[in-house]
Structure 1
Amino acid sequence: MKKILVCGMSQNLGGVECFLMNYYRNINRNKVQFDFLCNSESCAFEEEIKHLGGKVYHVCARSKNIYQFYKDVNEFFSNHAKDYDGIWVNKCMLNNIEFIKYAKRYNIPKRIIHAHNSNNMENTIKGKLQGLLHYIHRRSIHKYATDFWACSRDAGSWAFPKEIMKGENFRIIHNAIDSEKFRYNVDTRELYRKRLGLTNSFVVGHVGRFQYQKNHEFLIDIFKSIYHKNSNAVLLLIGVGELEDKIKEKVHSLSLDNAVKFLGVRNDVAQLMQAMDVFVFPSLFEGLGIALIEAQVAGLPSFTSTNVVPQEAKITNLLHYINLNESAIAWADTIVDSQAIHRELYVQASMDYNIKSAASKLELHFSNICNK
């Protein structure tokens, strides 16, 4: 059995966390076992991880106490590095690559860095500093990692130099999902629409953390235009984040309080998607956008940003690209016109995005690289 130390889990129930758990639930754990190293006091899915046989280790966050962070990390790797065949570090940007550095220092033989985004997630002074660190580490990451993975070529290009992208150790790992879980179900749709008071509504959906990348301000502008065309329209926002209060203020200023529902973190996203009529995702940048894969498999007409969301996200003809230079009214016109599109009863994800087959491939990748 191969033992892999996985880094990238946080206390937030986000895209990377769900991606990792999708694979952990479906991989053959008699052949490949994951343990998780988290730089937070708690970890998403921690109890489930333990139930599945994995261990969860915690170190202090570097942003909280830099001295304690390095002390904890050094102590962990000095005690546990010998237990692992490989380390799999999942990052949205390379501002902090200490786990992969310590893995090399303490001789973990295979060291995988996995890119999950295609741009800087914060448009702030802090974000610009993180961006500077990202570009510095991008030039030196080859000194520490042995293998380079990404969710799309766009994400790979953001994280790795061209030489790595062309090399034999670069690989695309698809953000696979449980297709059956998202399969369209009329009974679930009716139940959730009734439960949420949406029986006669045109339901617009969005799943994403409230942060700069997800472009919620423009999403609200789009919905305002949709609402002006159809007063039965309702917007479901699933997620939390640092910009949530700001978006709530904007919703209130536009007198849309009764038409926008903030649902927070949910463990029933698949069921909520059944209640939706369309899915809108106007991101400023994306590594892939796993929510778009889920929405298409749920049979939802989906709308996202041209030249921003990678073409790999288009697994069906249900995904439509619109330029961010277009006005909110233009987006709304296209979305409202989609009411004529027949909701697909079932969309089968391609084998690349089907978690059963993708988990088998990942298991093989781990076996191959750990046997080199």
Structure 2
Amino acid sequence: MGSKIRVLHIIPGFGGGISSHVRNIINGINKDEVTIDVAGFTPYPDEFIAEVNNKGGKTFTLDNVRIHNLGKCIKQFREIVISGNYDAIHMHLADVQAVYFSILASTCGIKRKIVHAHIADQQGSEKALFKIRKKINQILTVSSATDLASCSKLSSEFRFGKKYVDENRVMHIPNSINATNYFEKISEDEIAKYREEFKIKEEQLIIGHVGFFGYQKNHPFMFKIARRLKERGVDFVWLFIGTGYNFDEYVHLAEIMGLGDCVRFLGRRNDVCALYKIMNVSVLASFFEGLPTVTIETQAAGTATVISDSISDETDMGLNMIKRVSLNDDVDNWSDAILEMSKIKVPEAEERKRNIEKRAFTTLTAAKLYTKFLKKEIMTYNLGTEIE
């Protein structure tokens, strides 16, 4: 391996947590030490292409692997890998897909193949057939890799198997945030502007949720919490930020449940960092998560957060800003937790910044950790371990 390391990241597509993770690593990397190219199955926005190019990398859009164009896909991928002269490929894929690209990379002379786990569960995982399929997929995923990487221990256990965590054989790479703007205070004028835009009165409690509108994030349960808060006479507005395939269904459900006056559906926003700062408390009631970047963002921004007990405790930055509640608890317990956390004393920005940086959850610190991994200076890391 030469003095400058070249890596090809393979992502399912642009948009979502995986591409955000890769994007932050690229933005934090020292381009004199590491060059990262990205290959995925969807187009990229111009802004992302510019960021990759700025760090000396390239982006490639791959054809989806189908029987009728399998030869074309193989030729396309081999050309990318051979011309790229990569030291490693980093696959944000699993099971059969990971095996496919691992074999192709091997035929091009690539010896180092990193597989990265991002999810910690899937819908229907309680079924017997799923458990059998999961075990087979774990075997396939691990067999495709020389190195295992992951966003959390829960994700590692789901994708690779618990023994790989117990034997300390996984490199856990933080889902980092570009922290520049999170620690700055929002002005009173900006707060007033948002209150006017979302029709929020001065005295109302502001609850927030940021996430994809799909099964995983558990929106119907949050609507039940909102309805209970309303029944208890709490004067609040709940901001739901995001889009997804269940968006229209959930908006309709909220109306049916009589929540039209106290919920706001904001869709996709580019000002989420600022929106965190007008919230009194954030809620994440997910059925499962790998490691939700949103909880790192809320702690950086100074917003207390109530999360489900299915979310890894590695998300807690040691700032007493996270409260875990069981999904088996009733909505009154969740309501109590939300009201409690909305009143906590939030640590000052300097303390928040210090705790998040020393756990490598900022763009620069995570990229430095990743560079050490690529250089084989460190091969395992557990989230929460303080770095020098």
Normalising by the residue count of structure 2, what TM-score does the alignment of the two structures yield? 0.84
Aligned residue pairs, count: 362
Query: For residues 284 and 95 of structure 1, do their structure 2 counterparts lie closer, same or farther at Cα, with a shift above 3 Å needed?
Result: farther
| Secondary structure of the corresponding residue to residue 261 of structure 2 | coil
Q: Distance in 1 between matches of 2:44 and 2:179?
A: 29
Query: For residues 41 and 164 of structure 1, do their structure 2 counterparts lie closer, same or farther at Cα, with a shift above 3 Å needed?
Result: same
Q: Who is 1:38 aligned against?
A: 40
Q: Who is 1:229 aligned against?
A: 232
| Secondary structure of the corresponding residue to residue 326 of structure 1 | coil
Is the 1:94–1:134 Cα contact (8 Å) retained in structure 2?
A: no
Q: Deviation per CA, 1:295-334, whole angstroms, max 9, x where unpaired?
A: 111111110112x111101112110011111112321122
Q: Distance in 2 between matches of 1:332 and 1:72?
A: 55
Query: For residues 366 and 190 of structure 1, do their structure 2 counterparts lie closer, same or farther at Cα, with a shift above 3 Å needed?
Result: farther
Is the 2:323–2:337 Cα contact (8 Å) retained in structure 1?
A: no
Query: For residues 74 and 95 of structure 1, do their structure 2 counterparts lie closer, same or farther at Cα, with a shift above 3 Å needed?
Result: closer
Is the 1:87–1:111 Cα contact (8 Å) retained in structure 2?
A: yes
Say whether 1:73 aligns with 2:73: yes
Q: Percent identity?
A: 25
Query: For residues 131 and 32 of structure 1, do their structure 2 counterparts lie closer, same or farther at Cα, with a shift above 3 Å needed?
Result: farther
| Secondary structure of the corresponding residue to residue 8 of structure 2 | strand
Task: Please list every run of 5 or more consecutive structure 2 residues that lacks an aligned counterpart in the other structure.
Answer: 379-388
Q: Who is 2:90 aligned against?
A: 88
Partner AA of 2:104 in structure 1? Y
Query: For residues 340 and 20 of structure 1, do their structure 2 counterparts lie closer, same or farther at Cα, with a shift above 3 Å needed?
Result: same
Q: How big is the shift at 1:215? A: 0.8
Q: Who is 1:284 aligned against?
A: 287
Query: For residues 230 and 176 of structure 1, do their structure 2 counterparts lie closer, same or farther at Cα, with a shift above 3 Å needed?
Result: farther
Q: How big is the shift at 1:154? A: 1.2
Partner AA of 1:361 in structure 2? L
Equivalent residues in 2 for 1:168-183, closer than 5 Å: 169-183=169-183
Equivalent residues in 2 for 1:107-256, closer than 5 Å: 107-120=109-122, 122-123=123-124, 134-166=134-166, 169-187=169-187, 188-200=190-202, 201-230=204-233, 232-256=235-259
Q: CA RMSD in A?
A: 2.8
| Secondary structure of the corresponding residue to residue 96 of structure 1 | helix
Q: Distance in 1 between matches of 2:67 and 2:335?
A: 47
Q: Who is 1:267 aligned against?
A: 270
Q: Distance in 1 between matches of 2:233 and 2:20?
A: 34
Q: How big is the shift at 1:197? A: 3.2
Query: For residues 259 and 48 of structure 1, do their structure 2 counterparts lie closer, same or farther at Cα, with a shift above 3 Å needed?
Result: farther
Task: Please list every run of 5 or more consecutive structure 1 residues that lacks an aligned counterpart in the other structure.
Answer: none
Q: Who is 1:365 aligned against?
A: 373
Q: Who is 2:382 aligned against?
A: none
Query: For residues 342 and 227 of structure 1, do their structure 2 counterparts lie closer, same or farther at Cα, with a shift above 3 Å needed?
Result: farther
Q: Distance in 2 between matches of 1:298 and 1:95?
A: 39
| Secondary structure of the corresponding residue to residue 45 of structure 1 | helix
Q: Which residue among 26, 32, 35 is the counterpart of 1:24?
A: 26
Q: Distance in 2 between matches of 1:42 and 1:131?
A: 35
Partner AA of 1:360 in structure 2? K
Q: How big is the shift at 1:79? A: 0.9
Q: Distance in 1 between matches of 2:8 and 2:131?
A: 26
Comparing 148-157 with 172-181, which one deviates more in the overlay? 172-181
Q: Who is 2:362 aligned against?
A: 354
Query: For residues 30 and 350 of structure 1, do their structure 2 counterparts lie closer, same or farther at Cα, with a shift above 3 Å needed?
Result: closer
Is the 1:283–1:309 Cα contact (8 Å) retained in structure 2?
A: yes
Is the 1:192–1:271 Cα contact (8 Å) retained in structure 2?
A: no
